[in-house]
Amino acid sequence: MKKKNTTKIAVIGATGNVGRVMLQILEEHGFPKENITALASQRSTGREISYGEKGTLKVFPLETFDFSKADYALSSAGSKIAKEFSHKITQAGCTIIDNSSAFRMDKNIPLVIPEVNPEDLALGQKSKIIANPNCSMIQLAVALKPLDNLRKIKRVVVSTYQSVSGAGKAGMDELYAQARGTFMNALVPAQHFTKPIAFNLIPQIDIFDHDGNTGEETKVMNEFQKVMHRAIPITATCVRVPVFIGHSMSVNIEFEEAFSISDAKNALKTAKGVSLIPDSENYMTPIEIAGEDAVYVSRIRKDPSIPHGLNMWIVADNLRKGAALNAVQILEALID
């Protein structure tokens, strides 16, 4: 507890979806309010933001903050801000735990999920930057790492069903406005998403590349291989769905050798960060896991179409384990 009482932390992007959850989790994990500085853009300066149920923090401008007054910066302000301010922050002796995609595939910067590859944190001591992975990929890797330890994974096929909170407050507002407009007979055109999101599914998150993959699909595939330390063949289809909080995924795994369902369930049952629903006819949904920390795994069954195949359903709160919680867990691993 001593290091939590003395560690100075700046939260960049504190007024955004993820930034607010970062502050909530820091309070839940026992970090004293007086050691936390909430940072955002100039237009948010002076606002008060919640820190726990009773506390508040005043928001200070990122542009003028002296980072020599912070030991760590938890950043959720996006890639542009991360790249613009990273040199200033690290030169002041402050270590960044960054939630954007700016540094994830840099070979000199660790991409870390504490339950999966905590050994990579050592590289962050030199780089002074540690990247927080893609929200969907985090829950995928947390669930698949214990299975890969059981039997080497040969191939992964994943389809994600991602909530609008992954697109920020604007995405949540658009879903709300379109859903309300449907019942009020008032059309609200798509602005933040490529098509209407209310009562719809959109098989596009980010822009398409020359191979027809979206940016989100490429992130999931590339980042999964980096944290697993192995070029496991993986293909992904990422879909935006009309859900406010919680990312879901249908995952098909092919192992290199034979396995049993009971062994797979036992591996998941004892895995850190995983909550297993062992009953084959029970499962979790996004509305049930909002606000929870665990990665929930259910509907585990053999795939009869291949020799060593496994199907599973994975759900997690994308704002917590998919972003803010993972960043705080990295911080705790660094100061322990």
Active site residues: 135, 247
Measuring CA to CA, how many Å separate 300 from each of 28, 64, 266? 32, 51, 12
Pairing of strands 309-316, 36-40: unpaired
Q: State the virtual CA torsion across 28, 31, 35, 37 in degrees, nearest 10.
A: -40
**At residue 172, what are phi and psi to the nearest 5 degrees?**
-65, -40
Q: Name, in order, each residue with C-beta under 8 angstroms of 266's C-beta and a sequence gap of 6 or more.
A: none
* Calpha distance 37→189 (Å, rounded): 38
Using alpha carbons, select from 142, 175, 20, 11 the residue that is nearest to residue 81: 11
On whether the CB atoms of residues 290 and 320 are closer than 8 A, the answer is no
Q: Supply 2's token pair.
A: 């001593």
On whether the CB atoms of residues 246 and 163 are closer than 8 A, the answer is yes
Sign of the CA dihedral with 8 first, then 13, 14, and 19 last: negative
Instruction: Assign 201 to helix, strand or coil.
Output: coil
Q: How would you class 55 by CB atoms within 10 Å of its CB: exposed for 0-12, middle for 13-18, buried for 19 or more?
A: middle
Measuring CA to CA, how many Å separate 83 from each of 87, 98, 169, 262, 332? 8, 10, 22, 46, 24
Using alpha carbons, select from 148, 145, 124, 30 the residue that is nearest to residue 73: 124
